[in-house]
């Protein structure tokens, strides 16, 4: 293997990783999806990494990296920092290989994820909760490595991690009955895209590799545009499996060589995809796992009649998030609208609004009186769900014709965040 500055994953190293991973996992299925194929007029197949034991592809890189350590390194123990899938991959690897591991997680990590890490790690893993953010937990993990002489297991910016993730590409090659025209891959730190892309550029260079990032954490695209790794000033953590502030140096260099395009998808669109996968295909995808499928609309014309693979990278989705996911989807699709309505303080004002302003299929889903500002009018926060986005124009027209004093919140992000959160 060459030095890191000029590193590019060699096929032999990815094949070695595949042999190593056979100790712990079986290939995940490449499944034809009828609903998506009919919708886009293409042959759409899903690479189901959500069916891994730890419900994400992260076990591949973690196990391959840990398995490559020297006896001295394993005896000293390992450390990682993660609030999600990487932690679970490291924990299971420690358990299977009998290696002591410390996993640092922010104190804000959901209890469900903490319990999953403890379950996979068993007696071999100690979970350390520290700091309010990933960066603080990561700093504590690095400090522990230096103080105790342990080995740090990075989430993506490492050759062995990248080669482990590259085995996803080898499996797609082996499982595909026909040549693949497009592969859509989610990007967080870039390990998965680097691994799959490097395999395909060596084995099937005509296949186009499309990276997909969430709009609130499009670090790789920004780095591409600036020609160097660029840290994001702010990250929307909703798509938590891809919410990375700074992509890797190695992964950036590799992705520049192997990606044909990077597309950015709004978080609301991701939510719509999650709900669609659940309702029509009984697939429970986490936000990052739905990224690749969410990008298909942006490539609708190009993929028509083509063979397409979308990598469903994971399914660690907490059930308590579903209400938030539904809300974000409705807002994105133009089906949910919020207003502050100042009703006259007289009998019948609300009844007039319900009877004469709301359409036959409009539903009030949120109604909250705010503090009165004067005796004549009382402000109310109202959320209205529509049957079709086209109904919005009629709703606002009726509000104006009936003299309703209102303020629309959806296109006022600061006020929306303050009142609705």
| CA–CA separation, 176 and 309 (whole Å) | 9
| CA–CA separation, 415 and 412 (whole Å) | 6
Sign of torsion, CA 187 411 371 365?
Answer: negative
Q: Are 46 and 31 in contact (CB under 8 A)?
A: yes
Stated as kind and residue range, the H or E segment containing 417 is helix 413-419
**Which of 294, 313, 315, 329 is flagged as catalytic?**
313
Specify whether 58 is catalytic.
yes
Alpha helix positions (H), 259-407: 267-281, 291-294, 300-303, 322-332, 349-352, 391-401
Alpha helix positions (H), 107-190: 111-121, 134-148, 159-175
| CA–CA separation, 62 and 160 (whole Å) | 8
Alpha helix positions (H), 29-133: 34-40, 58-67, 71-76, 85-97, 111-121
- Length of the chain counted residue by residue: 421
Q: Are 371 and 340 in contact (CB under 8 A)?
A: no
| CA–CA separation, 295 and 415 (whole Å) | 30
**Which of 47, 58, 150, 201 is flagged as catalytic?**
58
Residues annotated as catalytic are 58, 313
């Amino acid at each position: 293997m060459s030095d890191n500055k000029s590193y590019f994953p060699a096929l032999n190293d990815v094949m070695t990783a595949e042999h190593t991973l056979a100790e712990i996992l079986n290939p995940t299925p490449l499944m034809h999806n009828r609903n998506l194929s009919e919708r886009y007029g293409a042959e759409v197949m899903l690479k189901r990494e959500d069916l891994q034991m730890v419900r994400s592809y992260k076990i591949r890189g973690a196990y391959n990296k840990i398995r490559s350590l020297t006896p001295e390194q394993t005896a000293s123990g390992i450390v990682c920092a993660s609030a999600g899938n990487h932690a679970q991959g490291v924990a299971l690897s420690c358990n299977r290989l009998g290696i002591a591991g410390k996993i640092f997680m922010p104190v804000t990590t959901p209890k469900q994820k903490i319990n999953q890490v403890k379950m996979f790690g068993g007696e071999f893993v100690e979970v350390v909760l520290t700091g309010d953010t990933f960066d603080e937990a990561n700093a504590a993990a690095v400090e522990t490595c230096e103080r105790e002489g342990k080995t740090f297991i990075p989430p993506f910016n490492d050759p062995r991690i990248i080669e482990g993730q590259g085995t996803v590409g080898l499996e797609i090659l082996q499982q595909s009955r026909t040549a693949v025209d497009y592969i859509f891959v989610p990007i967080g730190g870039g390990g998965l895209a680097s691994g799959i892309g490097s395999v395909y550029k060596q084995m099937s260079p005509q296949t186009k590799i499309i990276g997909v990032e969430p709009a609130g954490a499009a670090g790789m695209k920004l780095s591409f545009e600036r020609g160097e790794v660029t840290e994001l000033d702010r990250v929307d953590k909703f798509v938590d499996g891809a919410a990375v502030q700074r992509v890797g140096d190695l992964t950036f260099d590799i992705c520049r060589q192997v990606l044909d395009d990077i597309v950015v998808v709004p978080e609301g669109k991701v939510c719509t995809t999650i709900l669609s996968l659940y309702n029509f295909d009984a697939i429970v995808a986490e936000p990052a796992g739905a990224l690749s499928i969410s990008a298909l609309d942006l490539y609708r014309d190009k993929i028509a009649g083509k063979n397409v693979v979308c990598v469903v990278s994971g399914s660690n989705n907490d059930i308590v998030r579903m209400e938030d996911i539904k809300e974000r989807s409705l807002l994105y699709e133009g089906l949910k609208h919020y207003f502050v309505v100042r009703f006259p303080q007289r009998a019948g004002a609300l009844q007039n609004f319900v009877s004469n302003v709301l359409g036959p299929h409009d539903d009030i889903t949120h109604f909250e009186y705010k503090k009165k500002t004067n005796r004549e009018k009382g402000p109310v926060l109202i959320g209205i769900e529509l049957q079709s986005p086209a109904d919005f124009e009629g709703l606002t027209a009726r509000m104006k014709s009936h003299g309703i004093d209102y303020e629309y919140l959806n296109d006022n992000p600061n006020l929306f965040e303050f009142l609705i959160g």
